[in-house]
Structure 1
C-alpha cells in the first residue's frame, strides 16, 4: 500500500508538471550581438526565452534542443549549459535555480562561439522543447532570428553599389540576335524562315531511335495536346530522326527547313541531344500552355560535347528529396545535356535507399527524431526537429530506385550510387548496431555480428570534421566487408532489374579523422595479422580490399580525392602525395579541394599527372550549396567561396589558376598563392574524365530551396562542360581575353534572362530559380540601377513601401531623394530581394 501511495503521488506530481508544461506561448528569440567579440575569433549571441502566456512555465524542468553549426565555448550569463550531442545537434540545459518562468517574464542566455556568424544560415534551426520529466518533445511555436545586428549591417549586407559595378558591362542584346541553343553548340548558322510544328506534323525515325522518338512525342502531347503521327508518308511538315555513320556517341546534326527538320546521329544519345536542342529552338513560353503551332527558326547545327562526363551530384542524405523531385531534376539535367547523376544517398545523418535483407538501414537510418541513444531513429540534424517529418525523414524503396534508374536511362543519364565508407557512415553504423541488438536478443550472436560495423570494445577517441565521434566503420572487422558486399550486390541487382548501366560505385572515402581505430582491439589484432606498422597504412589496406570487392563484380572504384592520396612527411611535417599504389587500378577520384589559399589548389592536377582518373569537382566553382553572394539575407554556406552563376561559367578546367578571381571571402584574389603550384601536363589532361557540380543538402530543406540554390548556377556549369573551349581561355593577351570574356558573358546572361529562365518558369512544372538583387549607385544626385539578367525588370518605390509589379519600372536615373527601394522581377511577377539606396 505504501508503494502504491508513493506511485500515485509521483504520478500526480508528474501530471501537475505536464499540465503547466505548455510551450504554445513560449517565444524564443535568437540574436547575433557581435562578431569579432573583444577582438577575438569568436562572436557573441544570445537566446531570449519569453513567456507570453498566462501561466508560469517550468524552465528548470525543460531542455531546449536545436541544430547549430557553431561551437559554443562559454555561457557568459552563467544561467545555462550548452551541450554538443554530435554533429550540429545541441541542447541548452537551464540552471535548476531558475525555477518557474512567470508570465511576461524572460530569460536571456548569452554565449560566445567560435568563428563568425555571417548570414541567416548560421542561425540555430529546428528548435524544440523537451520535458525532462516525461521526455515529451514540443516544437518551438514562435522563433525569431535576428541575424543582422544594426552595428554590423555595413559588413553583413552586400552594397548595391558593388552589385552595380559587377553588372556594369551587361547590356541588352536584341532577342533575335541570340543563338537559341544552350549549351552553345559547336556550329550554329541561322537561315531564313521558320518550320511550323503542329499536330499535322509527322514524326519519322529509324527504328534504333524508337525510345528517343517516343519520349519526344510524349512531350509534344503536353505542348500540342496531341502526339504526332509516326512514319507516315508525307511531303511536308516532317521531323525526321535519321541514322548516319561517322558521328561520335553524343554528336548530332540538325537541319531545319520550312517543311522539314532532319536530326542526324550515329547513336541514340546523339539523337536525344539533338532533340533537346530542337526543344530549345522553340519559343521559351511553349511550355506555359497548350500550343496550336510552334515556330522553330530555320538553321543548321553541328554539335558534340567537350567532355564526355558531365555530372551533377545531389546529397539526399542530409535532407531528403522526394522521388518526384528527383524526376524533375533528371528532366532538368537532360535538357541541358548533363549525362550523369551522382546519387549521394548515404551519410552520417541518413541512409535513404532500401536494401533488401537489411531493413534497419531505412527503419533506423532513414528516420530522424528526438533521441539521445539512436536506438530506434537517428537524432535530429540540420533543423529536422523532434518529429519524423520530411525532409529529415524519408527513403526510396527498391521499387522507387528502379523507377528512378529507368527514368534516368530514358534520358541518357547514368546514375552513380554513393555508399559512404568507411567515414561519414553514422546512419549505417547506428542501423547495424540496432540489428546487432535485435539478433542478440534472439540469442543469435553469429547473425548479430554478420553486418556489424563497429568493434564493441573500441575505446578510440576522435572527432570528425562534422563533429561526430562515432561515424567511422571499423575496417578490421570481416563484417564491414560483408556489409559492403551485401549493399553492392543489392544495388547491382536493382540496376539489373531496371536494365540500367552500372560501371562504378562511389565508396566515399573522405574525411576519416585522426585518432580513429587507435584503441580498437580488433584493429590491433588486424595490424599484427597483416604486418601493418602504422595506423595511416590501414587506409590503403581498406582501399585494396574494397577495390577487390568491386573488381570481382566488374565494377571500378570511385571515391573522393582521399582514395588517391597517401600520407607522408616532408621535413617532419605531414604531407599528402599521390598514392602510387592504385594509380593503375582505374580509381576515379572526385577532387573538390581547391579552396584558394588553403594550399591544395593544384591537388586535382597532381593526381591527374600521377595517373589517376580525375573528375573535377572544385568547391570554388561547382559547390552550388554555397551562397550566391556575401549578404546576411542570402541563404547558403560560404566556407569555400561565394558562388554566383558566373563562377561555373568562367571556370577553366585545364588551368583554373588563370580564371580564379575571388578568394573565399569574395575579395580579389592574390595570384601569388599559385606560385610553384603544379600545372596540368598533356598526360594529365588525358586523365581528366570530366566535370561535376554538386549540392550538399545540410541547409536545404525541401524542393524550393534546392531549386533556388541549383538555378541558374547549373546553366553556367552546363555551358562549361559541353561547349567547346572559349577564346578567352586560349587567348594569351590579357586585354583581348578580358574583352572576349565579357562579350561571351553578356551573351550568356541575355540568353538566361530573355529565354532560358522564362522556359524554366514552366518546364517540368516550373522551377524556383533565384532572381538576383538589383545593382544601384548614386551619380550626380541621381540613383542609377542595373541588373544581371536582361529581360527581367526593376521596380522601385520612393515612399518606403515594398516594390511590386504595379510599382514604377526603372528606365532611367531616379532623381528622387530619400530611401529608394528596388526589386528585380521576372515576367511572371516573382521577385528577388529588395535593396535600398539612400539618396541624400
Structure 2
C-alpha cells in the first residue's frame, strides 16, 4: 500500500511540475518601446507606445497583477490608451495594471499601450527600464522582465524636441565633416607631457629608464620616492638586458610654491625639485606621462626619455571631479581605480556625492538604518526594509547598481588611498532636498524605537513632521524628499553625521576642510503646512516664509561645521536670496553667507536661461566659487544627438571638445548656442557680468560632474568619464592657451582649431593608448566613424588619429579581423564601419549604403 501511495505522489508531482512548466512565466514577457511624436499637440510633451508581448507558454491573466517600471518623465495617466491603467508610485517609478477590458494575453499575442509624458524623448536613455511583474496577492514575489526593446527613432517628429530644436541628429556624414579639420600630425610634434606644463624646453639626449632605475630623495619626500620605485617596478615587468647608471633624485626646494615642481631630465640623471610633497608627486606624474603605451602594456624593458627642462605649477588650486555614487553605486575597487586616474592627470579633488533620494552610501555606525535601509533598493510598498527601485535597478536587492554602501573601514581605506595620491575627498551630504533616503531611514529608526517604547530617542533624528500636510513634487517627481528645517531633530541628525565623518578623516589621517551640504532643487510647496514650521515662526517672527527658512537652515548648518573648523560648501542655490530689483523678484548673492566664506559650486550657466553669468556674479559678490558649469563640465550629458548614444542632454550635448574649449575666467567668449542649438544674440551676452579683479581671485577652481542616473556599471562610468576628463585636466592644470585670450574672434578661432587638432592627436596617439593598460585598462568611449559618400566614393575618418577604421560588406559587425579602411572605397551596397583602438577594442558600428 505504501508503495502505491509513494508512486501516486510521484506521479502527482510529475503532473504538477509538467503543468507548472506549461503555465505562465512572467519572465518571458517582452516590452517594446517607441517614441511616436515629440511636441505632441503643440506642447512640450511626447507621445509614445509600449507593446507588451507574450512569446512564452501560458496566458497572462486578465487581472491580479502589476508591472512596475522606471521612467524619467512624468506620465499623464489620463492620456493612456489601451486595456491598462497607469499610475505614478513616486520618483521615477510607475506601474500599469489590467483595466476592466483587458481579456488576458495568450501565447503569441501582443497588446498596444499609448500614453503621453511631459518634456520630450530623444535617445535610449529616455525609455522605460527595470520592468518587473508582481502578482497583487504575492507582493513578496517579483519577476524581472527582459530588457526593453527600444525602437530607434529616425523621423524628425521623433528626434526634434520642439520646433525651436535646431540640433540635428548626428549622422556618419556629419561626423565625417566634423573630423575633416583633424589632420594627422607626427607623434614627435605632440606635447611630451600632459597636461601641458607651464614651460618645457627640449634638450639634447635621452635618459634610459627601467624598473631597476635607482630612486632617492630628501627625507621629506620618502613616501613619494617609495611610490615612484613601486610604480616603475609595476610598469617595467621585464628586466633590462644591460645595466644603466642613471638615477632619479627628488629634492626639496622651499622656493617653490605648493604643488609646483621643476623637472630636469638629463642623460645621466632625472631631478625633481618641489616645495612640498604634492609638487614632488606631480613631478613623478610627469615622468610617468612621458612613458609610451608600450611601457604600460609591459612590452618593453626600458624607455629612452627625451631630455627636457620643465617648470610647472597648476593653474587652479582646486581641480576636481564629482562622482555620484548615490543614485547608482560604484564599488570601492572602482573608486580606487578612478582615484588613480585623477592622480595621473594631476586632479586633486574627488567630490563624492554620497547621499540622495535614491541611496545613502556611507555607513554611520550610530545610525545603522541609513545603510541597512537607505543603502538598498528593491520592490517595496512601505520603504521599511529598503527603498523603492529607481533608474532601472529592478525589484531585487542584489542589483549592484541600486544596492551597496561603503563601510566605515571602506571609507577610511578610500581616504588613505586618495591621500597618498594627494587627492582630497570631499563628502557631500545632500540636504535639505534630495534627502529621501535619509528621511525614510530615520522613519524606520523612529518606528523601531516607538515600538520599543523609547519615544524620546525615537524623535531624536526624525527628519520630517509626521503631521505635515504640505504637497510638493521635486524635479525628479518625489513627494517626500525634503527635510523639515524647522525641527531640532534635523540638526541632531546633521550634527551626528558630521561628527562621525570627521572621526573617519581623523582616523585615516586625511585632510578635511569642508563638507558639501547640497542645497539644490528644493521644490515649491515644502514646509507650507508643517506644524513644526508654524511653531518656529511663532517663536521667530522674522521668519515670514520659506525664503527665511532657507537662510535659517544654512546658518545653523554652517555653525555645526564651524565647530569642527570646517567651512560650508554647497550648490549655488544656497548662496542666493530673493530681492526685488526694479519691482522684479530676482536671485541675488546673499552677502551674509559670502562673509562666512561659504564655497559655492555653480552649475547653472544654461545659455538662454538668464543665469549665464551666475558664477561670475557670485564670485564678484564675495563667494569662493568652483566652476561646475553644465554646458561644459557635466559628463553625464550625452556625447551627441543620436538615439543609441546614452546620457542626458538638458544642458546640451557634451563631447570631449566641450571641456577642452572651456575658458574658466571668460567662458562666455566662446559660448554661442543654447541647448537647442539656437544662436544667442551677441548683445544678450554682452550685457552679462564679467569677472572683476575680486571675482577672479574668488574662482577657486573647476570641477567636472558625473551624475549617475544613467551610469549603472563601471564600464558605463568609464565611458561617460573618458575621454572628457582629459579636457578637464588640461583646463584645470595648464595656463590659458593663446586662443582663449586673443581678442580677435577670427584669429582666436584659427588658433583654437590648431590646438584642437593637436589635442585629438595627443589623445589618439598617446593618452588613450596608455589608458588601455593603466590599471588594467579603462573602457573609454571610442568614437563612431565619420563616413561620407562623394561621387560614388565612400570616405571614412576618425576623431582620433592613430585609431583604426575597419569595415564589412556582408552585413556583419566589423571585428579586429575585418578589412582595414585605408583609402576611399567604390564598393556598392551597405557598408558597416567601426573604429578600433590600438588594443583591438571597437566602438559602435555605423552603416551607409553606396
Deviates more, 1:662-671 or 1:328-337: 662-671
Structure 1 SS opposite 2:323? strand
Query: Counterparts of 1:64-213 in structure 2 under 5 Å?
Result: 64-73=67-76, 74-135=78-139, 136-141=141-146, 143-149=148-154, 157-213=169-225
Deviates more, 1:670-679 or 1:626-635: 670-679
What's the counterpart of residue 755 of structure 1? 766
1:205–1:584 Cα change, 3 Å = same
| Per-residue deviation, 1:683 | 1.1
Deviates more, 1:285-294 or 1:169-178: 285-294
CA distance in 1, matches of 2:115, 2:298: 55
Deviates more, 1:92-101 or 1:449-458: 92-101
Deviates more, 1:97-106 or 1:340-349: 97-106
Q: How many residues align?
A: 819
Structure 2 SS opposite 1:262? strand
Deviates more, 1:784-793 or 1:376-385: 784-793
- Which digits, 9 at most, give the CA deviation of each residue in 1:354-401, with x for residues without a partner? 001100000000010001221111000000010012110000000000
CA distance in 2, matches of 1:625, 1:274: 31
What's the counterpart of residue 14 of structure 2? none
2:589 pairs with 1:584: no
- Which digits, 9 at most, give the CA deviation of each residue in 1:634-674, with x for residues without a partner? 00000001000000001011111101143213455544441
Within the candidate set 412, 420, 441, 2:422 is matched to 412
CA distance in 2, matches of 1:397, 1:718: 30
1:396–1:227 Cα change, 3 Å = farther
- Which digits, 9 at most, give the CA deviation of each residue in 1:242-283, with x for residues without a partner? 112211111111111121111111111111000000001111
- Which digits, 9 at most, give the CA deviation of each residue in 1:125-172, with x for residues without a partner? 111001111112110036322142567688674122221222221111
1:19–1:805 Cα change, 3 Å = closer
CA distance in 2, matches of 1:193, 1:285: 21
What's the counterpart of residue 363 of structure 2? 354
1:18–1:565 Cα change, 3 Å = farther
Within the candidate set 318, 339, 342, 2:348 is matched to 339
Structure 1 SS opposite 2:270? strand
What's the counterpart of residue 806 of structure 2? 795
Structure 2 SS opposite 1:203? strand
Within the candidate set 311, 317, 322, 2:320 is matched to 311
1:735–1:97 Cα change, 3 Å = closer
Structure 2 SS opposite 1:515? coil
Q: TM-score, normalised by structure 1?
A: 0.95
CA RMSD of aligned residues (A): 2.0
1:182–1:134 Cα change, 3 Å = same
CA distance in 2, matches of 1:701, 1:58: 33
Checking the alignment, whether the CA contact within 8 Å between 2:130 and 2:147 is kept in structure 1 is no
| Per-residue deviation, 1:581 | 1.8
Within the candidate set 704, 707, 710, 1:696 is matched to 707
Checking the alignment, whether the CA contact within 8 Å between 2:715 and 2:779 is kept in structure 1 is yes
What's the counterpart of residue 713 of structure 1? 724
Checking the alignment, whether the CA contact within 8 Å between 2:122 and 2:159 is kept in structure 1 is no
| Per-residue deviation, 1:510 | 0.9
2:686 pairs with 1:682: no
| Per-residue deviation, 1:83 | 1.3
CA distance in 1, matches of 2:40, 2:682: 31
CA distance in 2, matches of 1:732, 1:242: 41
Within the candidate set 41, 50, 53, 2:53 is matched to 50
| Per-residue deviation, 1:292 | 2.0
2:744 pairs with 1:742: no
CA distance in 1, matches of 2:210, 2:594: 55
2:608 pairs with 1:605: no
2:384 pairs with 1:381: no
Deviates more, 1:667-676 or 1:83-92: 667-676
What's the counterpart of residue 536 of structure 2? 526
2:508 pairs with 1:503: no
Deviates more, 1:588-597 or 1:279-288: 279-288
Within the candidate set 336, 358, 368, 1:327 is matched to 336
CA distance in 2, matches of 1:772, 1:807: 18
CA distance in 2, matches of 1:329, 1:667: 36
Deviates more, 1:308-317 or 1:566-575: 566-575
Checking the alignment, whether the CA contact within 8 Å between 2:196 and 2:734 is kept in structure 1 is yes
- Which digits, 9 at most, give the CA deviation of each residue in 1:441-493, with x for residues without a partner? 00000000011101111111111111111111111111100100000000000
1:288–1:153 Cα change, 3 Å = farther
Checking the alignment, whether the CA contact within 8 Å between 2:472 and 2:479 is kept in structure 1 is yes
Checking the alignment, whether the CA contact within 8 Å between 1:123 and 1:147 is kept in structure 2 is no
2:451 pairs with 1:441: yes
Query: Counterparts of 1:210-221 in structure 2 under 5 Å?
Result: 210-221=222-233
1:610–1:803 Cα change, 3 Å = same
2:732 pairs with 1:728: no
Checking the alignment, whether the CA contact within 8 Å between 1:622 and 1:693 is kept in structure 2 is yes
Structure 2 SS opposite 1:331? helix
Query: Counterparts of 1:275-294 in structure 2 under 5 Å?
Result: 275-289=284-298, 291-294=300-303
CA distance in 2, matches of 1:115, 1:542: 33
Checking the alignment, whether the CA contact within 8 Å between 1:309 and 1:689 is kept in structure 2 is yes
Structure 1 SS opposite 2:63? helix
1:213–1:394 Cα change, 3 Å = same
- Extract unaligned runs of 5+ from structure 2: 1-18, 161-167
CA distance in 2, matches of 1:572, 1:621: 33
- Which digits, 9 at most, give the CA deviation of each residue in 1:506-546, with x for residues without a partner? 00011111110010111001011111222211110111111
Checking the alignment, whether the CA contact within 8 Å between 2:35 and 2:47 is kept in structure 1 is yes
CA distance in 2, matches of 1:559, 1:318: 18
1:292–1:78 Cα change, 3 Å = closer
CA distance in 2, matches of 1:469, 1:341: 31
Deviates more, 1:785-794 or 1:663-672: 663-672
Within the candidate set 247, 250, 265, 2:259 is matched to 250
| Per-residue deviation, 1:813 | 2.4
Checking the alignment, whether the CA contact within 8 Å between 1:283 and 1:295 is kept in structure 2 is no
CA distance in 1, matches of 2:199, 2:90: 54
What's the counterpart of residue 13 of structure 1? none
CA distance in 2, matches of 1:611, 1:353: 33
Checking the alignment, whether the CA contact within 8 Å between 2:239 and 2:301 is kept in structure 1 is no
What's the counterpart of residue 273 of structure 1? 282
- Extract unaligned runs of 5+ from structure 1: 1-15, 229-233
| Per-residue deviation, 1:97 | 3.7
CA distance in 2, matches of 1:793, 1:66: 40
| Per-residue deviation, 1:796 | 2.3
What's the counterpart of residue 821 of structure 2? 810
